[in-house]
Amino acid sequence: MNPTAAASDRLRVAEPRAVSARLPGNIDMNTAPDVTAPTAIAAPDQAKAAALPRIKLQSHGFSLDHPDQALGEQLMANALGVTDREAMHGIIRQLVKASVSGERPDEVNLSFMISMVKSIRPRDSVEAMLVAQMVSVHVMAMRCAHHLANADDLAQHDSAARALGRLARTFPAQIETLNRYRSHGEPAITVQNVSVGDGGKAIVGNVTQHASVIVSDKSPAAARHAPKAAGSRRRPASADAKREAQA
């Protein structure tokens, strides 16, 4: 037998099988994640029924990928914080347009944006619109950061830097607006350096302090209970001293 042929046969036998290009756990940047996959905690049937439906982009629009169309629409409406089908489709259409990368909507961006909206949990239509703006601003900011990192000349660099700066300032303002709206516009009350001695009473409000009287702006009646001046306490003492001297 030819020694070279035998060695070639041995090499072919030892040759490993082809390995899949996508190993378990790897993330494909060009493929939208499957948000309908069951988690390790929930039962498979329950997770499949309750999972947020995936949005499939089509040439004429989009569709919800869920075995029960009515349930899928209800789950999506709850995640977006709206109460009816028209509002849900309107928010999704706006997110689809905001997800455009290049000249076409990006399914990966869209899945990310909807996931972020769901995690913030808008509670009504106002919050739904504000949160949709927030995630859109974030996506635009990261897009500007990408353009800034790949700028070829000074003009592109300055344009991307200005846009990124404006978007970066807008995002925390939106967070503050959302927090204020959720707290019904009630301002926070901060009390500093309050000291109350034994037997004393704290006064809530703006306080004006003079040499002998403390008066609260919000409690005019408190002036009637203010302590007497020090001079009034000294007068009886001086009268007693005179009487003792005369005796």
pLDDT digits (tens, 9 = 90+) for 23-34: 333 444 455 545
Q: pLDDT higher for 60 or 82? A: 82
What pLDDT score was predicted for residue 103? 83
Measured CA to CA, the distance from residue 217 to residue 103 in angstroms comes to 63
User: Looking at the domain assignment, is residue 114 inside a domain?
Assistant: yes
**Which of these, 115, 110, 129, 116, lies nearest to 177 by C-alpha position?**
129
Residue 102 is assigned to a structural domain of this protein: yes
Could you tell me which residues come within 8 angstroms of residue 59 by beta carbon, excluding any fewer than 6 positions away?
Answer: none
Query: What's the CA gap between 51 and 181, in Å, rounded?
Result: 29
Neighbours of 41 (CB within 10 A): 7
Range list of H helices, the chain? 3-14, 44-50, 69-80, 85-98, 107-120, 125-149, 154-182, 230-246
Q: For all residues of the chain together, what is the average pLDDT?
A: 74
Q: Would you say residue 66 has pLDDT above 50?
A: yes
Q: Mean per-residue pLDDT for 131-143?
A: 96
> Shortest CA distance to 136 belongs to which of 104, 170, 159, 102?
170
* 134-145 average pLDDT score: 96
Q: How confident is the model at residue 74 (pLDDT cuts 50, 70, 90)?
A: very high
What pLDDT is stored for residue 227 in this prediction? 53
Give me the residue label for tokens 């003079």: 210
Does the pLDDT at position 18 exceed 50? no
Q: Is the pLDDT of residue 210 over 80?
A: no
pLDDT band per the 50, 70, 90 thresholds, residue 213? very low
Q: For residue 108, is pLDDT > 50?
A: yes
Q: What pLDDT is stored for residue 101 in this prediction?
A: 84
The verdict on residue 199 lying in a domain is no
Q: Can you tell me the distance from the alpha carbon of 163 to that of 60, in angstroms, rounded to the nearest whole number?
A: 31
- What values do phi and psi take at 212, rounded to 5? -125, -10
Enumerate residues 6+ apart whose C-beta is below 8 A from 227.
Answer: 212, 213
The more confident residue out of 17 and 62 is 62
Please give the pLDDT value at position 170: 97
Q: Which domain holds residue 145?
A: 32-182
Closest CA to 80 of 130, 117, 50: 117
Degrees to nearest 5, angle at CA 100 with 125 and 69 = 55
What pLDDT score does 236 carry?
A: 56
Q: What is the pTM for the complete model shown?
A: 0.57
For residue 111, being part of any structural domain is answered with yes
Q: Which is more confident, 48 or 151?
A: 151
The pairing of beta strand 100-101 with beta strand 54-58: unpaired
Greater confidence (204 vs 117) lies with 117
Residue 58 located in a structural domain: yes
Q: Which residue has the higher pLDDT, 19 or 132?
A: 132
Whether residue 201 is contained in a domain is answered as no
The 10s digit of each residue's pLDDT in 196-206 is: 666 666 655 55
Domain count for the chain: 1
Residue 169 pLDDT exceeds 80: yes
